Amino acid sequence: MGGLSKKSSLLKGLATSADILKLDAGTLFFDEKLTGQPRRLPQAIITASAMVDAYNLMGYDAIAIGRQDLSAGLHALQTLATRASFPFLSANLVDTNGSLLFTPFTLIERAGIRIALIGLTGQTNLPGAYSDTVKISPWQHVLPQIVAKISTKSDLVVILSNLSALENREIAEQMADVHLIFQSGVSKQNMRPQLINNTLISQAGHDGRYQGQLTVHWTASQKWQQGETSRLTLQKEYDRLGWMINRVRKKGGPQVVYKDNGANLNAFLKKRARYHELEAEIKKMAQDEKMNTPDPATYSNHFHPLLPSVKDDAAIIRLLKESRQRANKMRRQVAETKRLNGYIGSSACRSCHDPMYLAWSQTAHATSYKTLQDRDQNNNLNCVYCHVTGLDDSTAYLAPSMAGNLRAVGCEACHGPGKEHAANPNLAPPSMTPHPALCINCHTPQRDDNFNYMLDKAKIH
Question: For 225-229, 301-305, 369-373, which range has the lowest pLDDT when averaged over its residues?
Answer: 225-229
Which amino acid, residue 364?
A
Task: Find how far residue 268's CA is from the centre of its chain.
Answer: 42
pLDDT mean over 205-227: 77
Nearest to 66 by CA among 142, 107, 5, 127: 127
- What phi and psi, each to the nearest 5 degrees, are found at residue 49? -65, -40
With vertex at residue 265, the alpha carbon angle to CA 262 and CA 269, rounded to the nearest 5 degrees, is 140
CA distances from 254 to 166, 238, 274, 420 (A): 48, 18, 15, 76
The predicted-structure confidence for 14-54, as pLDDT tens digits, reads as follows: 765 567 889 988 887 876 666 556 666 777 788 888 889 99
pLDDT tier for residue 202 given thresholds of 50, 70 and 90: confident
pTM of structure = 0.65
Residue 160 to residue 21: CA distance in whole angstroms: 13
Q: Is the pLDDT of residue 2 over 60?
A: no
- Beta carbons of 326 and 333 less than 8 angstroms apart: no
Please state, as a whole number, how many other Cβ atoms lie within 10 Å of the Cβ of residue 208: 14
Cβ neighbours around 224 below 10 Å, total: 26
The confidence score (pLDDT) of residue 73 equals 79
Q: Which residues pair with 194 in a beta bridge?
A: 201
pLDDT (0 to 100) of residue 260: 85
* Higher-confidence position of 282 and 162: 162
Per-residue 3-state assignment (H helix, E strand, C coil) for the chain: CCCHHHHHHHHHHHCCCCCCCCEECCCCCCCHHHHHCHHHHHHHHHHHHHHHHHHHHHCCCEEECCHHHHCCCHHHHHHHHHHCCCCEECCCEEECCCCECCECEEEEEECCEEEEEEEECCCCCCCHHHHHCEEECCHHHHHHHHHHHHCCCCCEEEEEECCCHHHHHHHHHHCCCCCEEEECCCCCCCEEEEEECCEEEEECCCCCCEEEEEEEECCCCCCECCCHHHHHHHHHHHHHHHHHHHHHHHCCCHHHHCCCCHHHHHHHHHHHHHHHHHHHHHHHHHHHHHHHCCCCEEEEEEEEECCCCCCCCHHHHHHHHHHHHHHHHHHHHHHCCCCCCCCCCHHHHCCCCHHHHHHHHCCHHHHHHHHHHHCCCCCCCCCHHHCCCCCCCCCHHHHHHCCHHHCCCCHHHHHCCCHHHHHCCCCCCCCCCCCHHHHHCCCCCCCCCCCCHHHHHCCCC
| Predicted confidence (pLDDT) at residue 1 exceeds the cutoff of 60 | no
Report the pLDDT value the prediction gives residue 331, as an integer from 0 to 100: 63
Nearest to 8 by CA among 63, 69, 56, 61: 56
Over the chain, what is the mean pLDDT? 81
Q: Are 257 and 251 in contact (CB under 8 A)?
A: yes
pLDDT value at residue 206: 65
Q: Give the percent of the chain with pLDDT over 70.
A: 86
